[in-house]
Amino acid sequence: MARAHDRSVAQIALRRLIQREIVVIPKSVRPARMAENLDVFDFRLTDDEMTRIAGLDTGRSHIFDHHDPEKVTWLGGVRFDT
């Protein structure tokens, strides 16, 4: 999809959120990335593309399972001292 639009995957993700009327605040300190983040207003994803992206959501995190009581308890005990 990114290749088809000649964009990065991040730009496709930003564009999808914008088309869904979700406020996005991308963060970057690199000027090239900032410019890339702004370069998402001159194309649109098709309805089919939007549906295909939505289908990628499995409803589960591959990083952290928020529904696992043991993981949540562990996270609650983590200290972030500086």
**Tens-place pLDDT, residues 58-80:** 877 777 777 788 877 877 777 76
Model pLDDT for residues 6-62, shown as the tens digit of each residue? 999 999 999 999 999 999 999 999 999 999 999 999 999 999 999 999 999 887 777
Tell if the pTM clears 0.75, that is, is over it: no
Residue 59's pLDDT is 78
Asked if 12 contacts 2 with a C-beta cutoff of 8 angstroms, the reply is yes
Distances (CA, A) of 30 to 4, 15, 35, 56: 25, 20, 9, 29
* Residue of 57, 9, 58 whose CA lies nearest to 33: 9
